[in-house]
Amino acid sequence: MALFEWTEEYSVSVLRFDTEHKKLFSLINELNDAMAEGRGRYIIARVLQELGEYARWHFRGEESAMRRAGFAGLEAHIGEHRQFARKVSDFYAECGEGQGAIPIEVLYFLRDWLQSHVLQTDQQYAESVNSAGIY
């Protein structure tokens, strides 16, 4: 059962970024489902690896669009992206060192990211990017 459902309140009105954000929803829901079935520890490393790859690719696109649009909050936004990438990298390193990132910790982190970054911070660039004709 999905922990997070995509709704229009998450939309930044840029089809590419909305589609990419849905991938984050999918990864969170996959982890949640695995935890409900007692398999969270078995998939956490793969989910974190996918998140790391997702972050690099998605953030590059968002930052490029914000730069082209002349978005004033670009540097602060980049800082949040770097914090996310660092945290995911730290969780992944814990898995590799045998400590094993705790799936519930990761799930809470991702939930908070959706609620603070995607739902609030990303909304700040939406008007600027859309005004620049980036859809």
> What would the pLDDT profile of 78-92 be if each residue is shown by its tens digit?
999 999 999 999 999
| Residues 6+ positions from 51 with CB-CB distance below 8 Å | 24, 27, 88, 110
Tens-digit pLDDT profile for residues 29-76 = 998 999 899 888 889 889 999 999 999 999 999 999 999 999 999 999
Q: How confident is the model at residue 97 (pLDDT cuts 50, 70, 90)?
A: low
pTM of the model: 0.89
Angle at 54 between CA 23 and CA 75, to 5 degrees: 110
At the fourth CATH level, the homologous superfamily of domain 14-129 is Hemerythrin-like (1.20.120.50)
Residue 5 predicted with pLDDT over 80: yes
The closest alpha carbon to 79, from 65, 58, 59, belongs to: 59
Q: How confident is the model at residue 14 (pLDDT cuts 50, 70, 90)?
A: very high
Domain ranges of the chain: 14-129
- Confidence at residue 2, expressed as pLDDT on a 0 to 100 scale: 79
Round the average pLDDT of the chain to a whole number and report it. 91
